[in-house]
Chain A
Amino acid sequence: MTGLDLTWSPEEDAFRDEAREWLESSLAAWHAEHGGEDAIASGDTRTGFAQHLDWERRLHAGGWAAVSWPSEYGGRGASLWEWLIFEEEYYRAGAPPRVTQNGIFLLAPTVFEFGTRDQQAHILPRMAAAEDLWCQGWSEPGAGSDLAAIRCRASRVDGGWRLDGQKTWTTRGAFCTHLFGLFRTDPESERHRGLSYLLVPLDTPGVTVRGFGRLDGDEGFAEVFFDGAFLADDALPGGVVLGEAGQGWSVAMATTGSERGLTLRSPGRFLATAERLFDLYRTDPQPRVRDRLVDAYIRAEAYHLYTLDTVTRLAGGAVMGADSSINKLWWSELDVELHELALDLLGPEAEVEGPWSKGWQFALSGPIYAGTNEIQRNIAAERLLGLPRK
């Protein structure tokens, strides 16, 4: 029978073994290079970002930076299943957060779907090699959940575009080299019409990046000012517009729920967090949190199994669609609960800066980024359950 077959093929097992071996030895080498595991700073600090960039270069050299991409772009042609296996092994090994993830998980799917050959050939290999570091220019002070309210303008001029406006809440913006963003290119347009998806080198004159602090200590969070910056058509091989000009909204939305939209948070991450939580629990078992602890573990497992179900459907040709909204609700709230449990276990020690308090602070942003959980609930209700919009 083919129904509910939960076995991996020998090739997939071999892939897992290869990944596990590489990760183990390479992590050790990376730690050693930087003075030991404890000397690695958070990737959201300047020091840490440089260290994590070095890790990205090692991943790339080993062919692990973007496993599911074709090898001509720096990947190794892995299947979706193999990607999932790699993610499991990645988190099991305790490998660090990917500072290239906004490019790899958010921009790259769009480049694959809408980019020209020239754009793909230029952008993707440099992204995988961490030579170009991409940040996302979506939000503006007046446009968060209501993305269609954006006002950043790209006015057509001779040989390119003139950029004016401001983007904000740009993760790692202060550390990146390029920005992908939505700009209003039709001055008469309103809302989601007349927008274009542009690719902007951040060293373009007239572009100013200003980092501002986050409550979890991240130094890379930034706002980006465009003051009459000239973005040349040939600033990037293949052009600086992704997809058709004026179609930016559809281009951006096409991959919001894509299978790689799924990749924003793979289950391995939360199963690994649950394991660390168990270790913490075992140092001083407190019966009063045990039931919640087990419940959180069950939810991490449920996320893993739901992902297997999702990948099965994607591998069979389905498109993810609005399911990604309940996906996001589940992992973001699980992450908060896992970290809150840790703080409960730590008691007064929770007040001291450490990985769990930092993790808690970051977990709190989960229900906010990638579409707030309130928006996700609206989407789930309207598109999955068919409830009326108004």
Chain B
Amino acid sequence: MHFGFDDDQLAFRDAVRAVLDKECPPEAVRAAGSASPGMLDRGVWDRLGAMGLLAMLVPEDRGGLGLDERSLVLVLEEAGRAALPHPLVDTAVVAAPLLGEAGMVATNLGGPHLACAADADRLLLHDPGDGGLHLVQRPDAVLTPVATVDRTRRAATVSWDPSSPAPADPTSTWHPSPDPAGNPGAGDPARAADPGAGDLSSDPGEGFDAGAEDEGDASDDDLAWGRGSWDLGAATLVTDDPAAVELARDRGAWGTAALLVGLGRRMVELAVTHVSERHQFGVPVGSFQAVKHQLADAHKDLAFARPVVHRAAHSLATGAATRGRDVSMAKALAGDAAWRAGRVALQCHGAIGYTVEHDLHLYLKRTWALAKAYGDAGWHRDRVGREIGI
């Protein structure tokens, strides 16, 4: 029994941290929020690729490092800590084991708003119709940037040009379904006006339909998602094995949980620095118990979420029978811990943390987005309950 990491894993983490500290400082994250679609700076991404990070989970005989999730988890925490804008989880954790070296990949497996879709080389898209994962070249898809809260996520929805050449193995045709409010499907009247246009972005994936899981709070937009099937145009079926799709989804959820742990810790670090330096009433505000206690709790929650994420890495790496439960425990706990750390960090920064001049909002908004990607805490607790027979 050794619930810890070996020297190689720690060294790799340190090396990645050094690269991110240098190549992905807050200014770089900020720049990612304002760069035009398709214009995301790839400097740090290429550096990480050169280190083998993007192909860590790819078998050696396919050009990767042939490592498993245990070697990746600390590195993902670092990526979270740096709020790396690039789709690391989507590429290295979800797509790479399926595709080999895949360039930069965006996917809808984690939700309807694909991160870096316009910057990615390819899209890995889930079709609820055939349950499969399909590889789509970006030029074949129509991307619609979405104004999400976290601009550094560079989110977009995806739809198809129906005049694309038919695939060798055509999949089902997507027809938008009307939502209860009577609007055309996908919640986007512009898209629905073109009856031939499929909209892959509308499927958050089985189980991630916020409208269905929510207890009555679903908006009309929520209910418009996830209905129907689609014509994928020029797409390649990667897999329609339900077990492979579920594994990909679990990897995405786990990888995101690791990012969230890093994000949460970064926000607590920022807050500790701030309240140590900020003086009011003649003393550092960090000397007040109300401030200390909030930060102690935020630190505690992240400290206890971490081993759950690490255990989930082990479950993925070893193909444990409890993988589903373990991944969902990690995503739920890490999401809640990071969310709370965000609240505490904002409160402890006071008004200055509320400005966009200060860096805190970059990490906060990323936390809010990632907490909801690949299933939110409530969805994952529900899944844990099902897995343990409750």
What is A's interface to B at a CB cutoff of 8 Å?
1-9, 12, 81, 278, 281-282, 285, 290-291, 293-295, 297-299, 301-303, 305-306, 308-309, 311-313, 316, 325-326, 329-330, 374, 376-378, 380-382, 384-390
Are the C-beta atoms of B292 and A302 separated by less than 8 Å?
Answer: no
B390 interface hit (Cβ, 8 Å): yes
User: A298 near B333 (CB under 8 angstroms)?
Assistant: yes
* Pair A302/B304 contact, Cβ less than 8 Å: yes
Asked whether any CB of chain A lies closer than 8 Å to the CB of B189, the reply is no
Distance in Å from the Cβ of B210 to the closest Cβ of chain A? Answer: 16
Q: Is B61 an interface residue (CB 8 A)?
A: no
Q: Which residues of B contact A389 (CB under 8 A)?
A: 287
Q: Is the CB of A6 within 8 A of B314?
A: yes
Contact across chains for A4 and B70 when beta carbons are under 8 A apart: yes
B308 to chain A, nearest CB (A): 5
Q: Which of B6, B382, B390 has the most CB of A within 10 A?
A: B390
Partner of B295, one of A295, A298, A381: A381
Judge whether B14 is part of the interface by a CB distance below 8 angstroms. no
User: Which chain B residue has the least Cβ–Cβ distance from A303?
Assistant: B304
Q: Are A312 and B2 in contact (CB-based, < 8 A)? A: yes
When C-beta atoms are compared, the residue in chain B nearest to A291 turns out to be B381
A150 to B268, CA, bound (A): 36
Q: Does B371 contact A (CB under 8 A)?
A: no
Q: Is the CB of B384 within 8 A of A380?
A: no
Which of B6, B71, B286 lies in contact with A387, CB distance below 8 A?
B286
Q: CB-CB < 8 A to B4: which residues of A?
A: 3-4, 309, 312-313, 316
Nearest CB on A from B364, distance (A): 19
Query: From residue A386, how far is it (CB to closest CB) to chain B in Å?
Result: 7
B139 CB, nearest partner CB in chain A, Å: 41
Whether B286 and A388, one on each chain, are in contact in the complex, defined by CB atoms closer than 8 angstroms, is: yes
- 4 smallest CB-CB distances across A and B, nearest first, come from A381-B292, A305-B307, A380-B296, A3-B6
From A5, A285, A295, A385, contact of B296 by CB (8 A): A385
- The verdict on A298 contacting B6 (CB below 8 Å), with A384-B299, A387-B287 known, is no
A309 to B3: give the CA distance in the assembly, Å.
5
Q: Are A387 and B275 in contact (CB under 8 A)?
A: yes
Known: A298-B329, A326-B303, A381-B292. A81 touches B1 (CB 8 A): yes
Residue of chain B at shortest CB distance from A308: B3
Q: Are A6's CB and B1's CB within 8 A?
A: yes
Report the Cα distance A290→B329, complex, angstroms.
Answer: 15
Most chain B beta carbons < 10 A, residue from A293, A308, A313, A330: A308
Total interface residues on B, CB under 8 Å, equals: 48
Q: Indicate if the CB atoms of B3 and A305 lie closer than 8 Å.
A: yes
Q: Which of B311-345 contact A (CB under 8 A)?
A: 311, 313-314, 317, 329, 332-333
Asked whether any CB of chain A lies closer than 8 Å to the CB of B300, the reply is yes
Q: Does B293 reach chain A (CB closer than 8 Å)?
A: yes
Q: How far is the CB of B388 from chain A (nearest CB, A)?
A: 7
- Complex: how many Å from CA A306 to CA B293? 21
Interface status of B378 (Cβ within 8 A of chain A): yes
Q: How far is the CA of A305 from the CA of B312 in the complex (A)?
A: 11
Q: Cβ of B207 < 8 Å from any Cβ of A? A: no
Task: Report if B385 contacts A (CB, 8 A).
Answer: yes
Query: Is B96's CB within 8 Å of the partner chain A?
Result: no
Contact of A380 among B300, B314, B333 (CB under 8 A): B300
Q: Are A294 and B384 interface neighbours, CB within 8 A?
A: yes
In the complex, chain A residues whose CB is within 8 Å of the CB of B313: 4
Contacts of A281 in B (CB 8 A): 390
- Is B354 interfacial (CB 8 A cutoff)? no
Q: What residues of A have a CB within 8 angstroms of the CB of B1 in the complex? A: 5-9, 12, 81, 308, 311-312
Whether the pair B385, A380 counts as a contact (CB closer than 8 A) is no
Q: Determine whether the beta carbon of B381 is less than 8 Å from that of A298.
A: yes
B317–chain A nearest beta-carbon distance, Å = 8
- Kindly identify which residue among A278, A312, A374, A390 contacts B283, using a CB–CB cutoff of 8 Å: A390
Q: Are A2 and B292 in contact (CB under 8 A)?
A: no
Contacts A3-B9, A302-B305, A306-B304; A278 near B390 (Cβ below 8 A): yes
Query: CB-CB < 8 A to A316: which residues of B?
Result: 4
Complex Cα spacing A289 to B8, Å: 44
* Distance between Cα atoms of A303 and B303 in the complex (Å): 10
Cβ-based interface call for B310 (8 A): yes
Check B300–A6 contact: CB distance below 8 A: no
